[in-house]
Structure 1
């Protein structure tokens, strides 16, 4: 698929969703899950940035990002404890 066609399709879908909204709950759940996944990745990024002083590095992948995103700060701390003491 050409890049211009891809951007046009995505742009038209965004405009369509803005005009009619997303009345379906599964779409909202998927959106919220994606947002939590991104927030979890940010938690892990800042944890890795702060943990370099003590040699702590938690890999950022979908599994760890989802744990940190859905559980929040306690999930990120639990991942750090697992990485530091167990692995």
Structure 2
């Protein structure tokens, strides 16, 4: 694997998603906006990476992940929920 820009961006996206997962398991009160925003940004960064280094299974997963994060973010923003 070369450390080109696409791979670096993909790694940052992966890190954001891992941070979101850890946060959801460690937080006493979950901020749904933050949680879904981290997941959305992470999946979008990974989707960018996948446009350069294509993998169909990963692309499908990241599209679904981004859609779920968008729905969760919209729901949290609509309700004004931060926790």
Establish whether TM, by shorter chain, passes 0.5: no
Q: Normalised by the size of structure 2, how large is the TM-score? A: 0.34
Q: Normalised by the size of structure 1, how large is the TM-score? A: 0.32
Greater RCO structure (CA 8 Å; 6+ sep): 2
- Structure showing greater Rg: 1
